[in-house]
Amino acid sequence: MLPIIKILPIIPALLSRGHRPLKMNFEDQLKALIYFHLQEHGSARHLIQDMNENNFAKENIAPEGGISISSFSEIINSRGLEQLLFVFQELYKQASFIIPKKFTDLGELVSIDGSLIDAVLSMFWADYRKSSKKAKAHCGFDINRGIPNKIFLTDGNGPERPFVSMFLSNGQTGVMDRGYQCHHLFDQLQKEGKLFVCRIKKNTKMTVLEENKAVSGSHVFYDAMVLLGNPGQSQTVEPVRVVGYKVAGIKYFVATNRTDLTGEQVATVYKLRWTIESFFKWWKKHLKVYHLIAREKHGLMVQILGGLITYLLMAIYCREQFGEEVSIKRVREIRNTILNELFNSNSDEDNQGNKILKEPDHLMQAKT
């Protein structure tokens, strides 16, 4: 929590509605969300039971006097979003300063992708199909440092392309799969002075303006400046560069406005897109970020931000303490530390003054 303690004084205040004091201030809310993800709790009820019965959680996580499931649900679904966004942005700044950059010869790379979140039928806002509900998290991932940097949330059918420009600052390169192929988007990004590397469908119509000679022996077999699309219909206004390369017998075509890179470097940039897929997989598996504790759109965004903040804290911790990237090994070490403190806080002494460890009440009840 040290990186958060540094910024607590400048976080926007979380104010109570009306004249009643807050049952859970923002620091309590943030601690509960981080604890939820670190401990892999499966539901809000599991978390609340832990905070009410586990001595470690009661002393270090829960608000004074405890919290009920109804109060916790009301808080998660209606408060703290502005503050969590602020914390996420500030932690990203800290992490980007601490974590060394990779791929410096390729520039600042941001992988862009969406991830579907299974929702329940009562989440009416999460449109997807008639018999199922899903939300979609649109994420930007800093490839050079291996950390998430931006997030947006929509229903499961929400379009992905409108967010591309929001993910990128001038000088950054957006790296995208072919689902983001849109010739109007390519023109828009070029007009805004933003860079992109995007896989395109191999049957895309191309009007060649200038073709570069392929290097002998390279896996890059095509490199040309073209206009994409059918003339008079969906054709790009601005020329784009298309690089074609082959891996394991599969041909890939990538559109970009990066003319400063070699064809091989363009291919390498696109290959690095997999880092966001690896992040989503790890994040879902080891932090259980999609075990719903909220039903409203506001609450789900709160929960997702809690998971992203937990990941950034782990990234900072692993880099500062061990000089390495986030790993499940380090997460398990923290969980074991919490477990050890839990048992120490539940210990008694025998007649000779020796400590006797008791199991926490909720574990004893579970065994019973």
Tell me: the pLDDT tens digits for 251-272? 999 999 999 999 999 999 999 9
In this structure, of 49-63, 193-207, 278-292, the range with the lowest mean pLDDT score is: 278-292
Sequence-separated (6 or more) residues with CB below 8 Å from residue 86:
11, 12
Sign of dihedral through CA atoms 284, 290, 293, 297? Answer: positive
Residue with tokens 């109060």: 71
> Could you give the CA distance from residue 228 to residue 231 in angstroms, rounded to a whole number?
9
Residue with tokens 């919290």: 67
Evaluate if residue 339 carries a pLDDT over 90. Answer: no
Tell me: the pLDDT tens digits for 190-218? 999 999 999 999 899 999 999 988 787 78
Q: What is the identity of the amino acid at 251?
A: K
Token pair recorded at residue 142: 């800093």
Tell me: the pLDDT tens digits for 79-106? 999 999 999 999 999 999 999 999 999 9
Cα pseudo-dihedral 180, 184, 190, 194, rounded to 10: -30
The pair phi, psi for residue 108, each rounded to 5°, is -80, 115
Residue 15: which pLDDT band, with cuts at 50, 70 and 90? confident
Q: How large is the average pLDDT for residues 225-241?
A: 93
> Could you give the CA distance from residue 72 to residue 33 in angstroms, rounded to a whole number?
11
- Which of 99-103, 131-135, 358-362 has the highest average model confidence (pLDDT)? 99-103
Strand partners, 142: 110, 147
Give the mean pLDDT of the chain: 88
Evaluate if residue 3 carries a pLDDT over 50. Answer: yes
